[in-house]
């Protein structure tokens, strides 16, 4: 991998071949507590600790890398639908079922299956960690992220570039109570 933000997790074999699934590197800046990104006043207002906010940040980064950017259904419907992904995911969505856009699914061409990661580079930036609550909903932690990934397509001479803006809201217990996203993909 060309990025210090991810590390090899395991070899995964699917209908199209084998690839190396990735996880966030523990040394990635996206996994570190960076108080410049924390809205400390909001955390205090809604009674969250730095440790709770940091745990939500690490969960959000892991979700973004392992599920959004490297899900088994990333580039093929042969590995199932978003409903199949949802049934298998360890993440808990509180009081709702996520929509098709929750992960980067069926928006990319078939990617290389040669035992290496499908992306040649993944970079993640945490832009903000804050807390919210009140009339608009329950007390929650909000993590705002962005990522860039370069994917290796089977039939392309150049990489497929993806930019993702993503937000995840968590209950104090770590359940996902909201998300939003924007994907920009160029071949």
Q: What is the mean pLDDT of the chain?
A: 89
Q: State how far the Cα of 119 lies from the Cα of 41, in Å rounded to an integer.
A: 37
> Predicted confidence band at 187 (pLDDT cuts at 50, 70, 90)?
low
Start-to-end CA distance of the chain, whole Å, equals 19
Burial of 14-35, coded b for 16+ CB within 10 Å and e otherwise, reads: bebeebbbbbbbeebebbeeee
The token duo for 151 is 């994917």
Angle 133-135-138 (CA atoms, 0-180°, nearest 5)? 40
Are 184 and 177 in contact, with CB atoms under 8 Å apart? no
- As a whole number, mean pLDDT of residues 17-28 equals 94
CA dist., res. 160 & res. 119, Å (int): 9
Per-residue pLDDT tens digits for 86-105: 998 899 999 888 988 898 88
Prediction pTM value: 0.92
* Residue whose C-alpha is closest to residue 123's, from 65, 185, 183: 65
């Amino acid at each position: 991998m060309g990025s210090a933000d991810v590390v090899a997790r395991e070899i995964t074999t699917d209908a199209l071949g084998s690839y190396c699934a990735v996880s966030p590197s523990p040394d990635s800046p996206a996994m570190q507590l960076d108080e410049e990104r924390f809205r400390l006043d909001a955390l205090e207002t809604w009674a969250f600790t730095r440790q709770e906010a940091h745990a939500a940040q690490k969960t959000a980064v892991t979700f973004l890398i392992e599920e959004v950017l490297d899900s088994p259904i990333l580039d093929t419907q042969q590995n199932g639908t978003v409903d199949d992904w949802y049934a298998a995911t360890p993440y808990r969505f509180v009081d709702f079922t996520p929509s098709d856009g929750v992960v980067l699914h069926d928006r990319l061409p078939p990617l290389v299956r040669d035992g290496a990661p499908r992306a040649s580079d993944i970079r993640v930036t945490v832009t903000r960690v804050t807390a919210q609550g009140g009339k608009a909903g329950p007390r929650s932690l909000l993590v705002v992220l962005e990522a860039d990934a370069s994917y290796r397509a089977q039939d392309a001479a150049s990489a497929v570039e993806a930019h993702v803006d993503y937000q995840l809201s968590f209950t104090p217990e770590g359940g996902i109570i909201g998300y939003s996203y924007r994907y920009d993909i160029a071949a």
